[in-house]
Amino acid sequence: MFKDLPVDEIPDIIRFYQNEYEDKMDAYCRKELKLKIFVPRIDTLRSILKQAANLFKLEKTVLEIQSPCIVLGDIHGQLIDLLRIFHFNGFPPLRKYIFLGDLVDRGDFSMEVLVLIFSLKIMYPNQVYVLRGNHEWQDTQFKECFINSAIEEWRTPDIAKWVNNAFNQMPYAAIIDKYALCIHGGVGPSIQKLDDIQNIKRPGPIMDDEVATELTWSDPFDNIPLYMSSPRGVGYLFGQNALNSFLRNSGLELIVRGHECVNEGVRYSLNKLCITVFSASNYCGQNTNKSGILVFNPGTKPEGLAFDPLPWVTKAEAVNQTSSPIEKRGYYIKPSSSEKLLSNFRNQMVPQVSKPKLNKSGTITGLPPITGLNSPPKLPSL
């Protein structure tokens, strides 16, 4: 049935989210316009998940990345927060992005978030990096998992297999400029040095590996020296001495992680050696938290930015753009011509923001103008 990979919709997906929201981002953020989403064909969805899995498989368990780059914490299916960040900072390939995991669950747009981020990963594999979080593990036995609604919407149980295959191949960590370790959760008693993370076996479910479980479930806590069991029931709370020991043993200076909703979007803890980033604002529609990102530039300390919380949006309030917005429906493109199509798209696509300028140190300058709801205040530096 899927003999040839139908990649023709991947450029359309990216172009749709760039063009549709380009001049109307503030109106969408205020819910003056109904959120529009792109619904790809089922064969396109399978292809995106398969190609993303293949790319993750080629990557190391611990990535090595150079700045400039932008780090995002949990998105949790909140598509509007993701789009606001992209439209403020610029879509790949203009910016390099690292996602700390937990792309899915909680919000109503988990599959849309996956489709967009994975499409960007396929198009620009060296500008988009995705780490595994504790929610990048789907079990249909749990009602809160987005995969159940996806199976119902797409009318095939195969989606669970496709999604989990991609999740099981994901890398677990990334080191920025040889000093900052990006992970989803934290460290635990089984994680004493970087080698412990590098030795996680892939592919495989998170819960089958003690190190992977601690890495994706643990949280920092200021009032303990080492470790204690987590109130989550999985993972650990880790303190200052535990973090100091791990950083010293690994030749690193700090960790950047997600996993926790922090009201200010970006929070510094454990003597500023641990930075928590959470990018889903108004989390679950029940919080007043901001959406945070962390910007790394060469030779400078990372800078936190926070966006105001947005109104909660449900799938029932959205408008579907079904299949391709241009007339390329009902046929497949063979792999050889598919690669040519993707290459042409990479070379010809007109960016939606001005090309960033890099000074001699490689620092990002020339960001888009700051207006309205797109105006994040700078947070304290380290």
pLDDT tens for 328-367 read 333 223 333 444 444 554 544 433 333 334 344 334 344 4
> What local confidence, expressed as pLDDT, does residue 8 receive?
67
Percent of the chain exceeding pLDDT 90 equals 74
Q: What is the pLDDT of residue 352?
A: 37
Residue 278 DSSP class = B
What the block records as the tokens of 366 is 């020339």
pTM here is 0.86
Ranges 2-6, 221-225, 292-296, 333-337: which has the least confidence: 333-337
Spell out the domain ranges in the chain. Answer: 9-353
Task: Write down the mean pLDDT value for the chain.
Answer: 85
The pLDDT confidence band at residue 138, using thresholds 50, 70 and 90, is confident
> Residue 191 to residues 211, 329, 361: CA-CA distances in angstroms?
6, 49, 34
Q: Is 219 helix (H, G, I), strand (E, B) or coil?
A: strand
Any idea what DSSP says for residue 74?
B
Strand, helix or coil for residue 132: coil
List active site positions.
Answer: 135
Cα distance between residue 212 and residue 53, in whole Å: 18
Provide the pLDDT for residue 351. 36
Note the pLDDT tens digit of each residue in 34-92: 999 999 999 999 999 999 999 999 999 999 999 999 999 999 999 999 999 999 999 99
Measured distance CA(133)–CA(372) in Å, rounded: 32
Query: Is the preceding peptide bond at 351 cis, omega within 30 degrees of 0?
Result: no
- Return d(Cα 198, Cα 140) in angstroms, integer: 29
Residue 145 pLDDT: 82
pLDDT grade for 96, boundaries at 50, 70 and 90: very high
Residue range 266-288: mean pLDDT, rounded: 96
Cis peptide before 231 (omega within 30 of 0): no
Residues 232-245, mean pLDDT to the nearest whole number: 96
Give the pLDDT score at 5. Answer: 47
Residue range 158-197, pLDDT digits in tens? 999 999 999 999 999 999 999 999 999 999 999 999 999 9
Taking Cα atoms as reference points, which of 35, 82, 108 lies closest to residue 317? 35
- Looking at CATH, the fold of the domain delimited by 9-353 is given as Purple Acid Phosphatase; chain A, domain 2 (3.60.21)
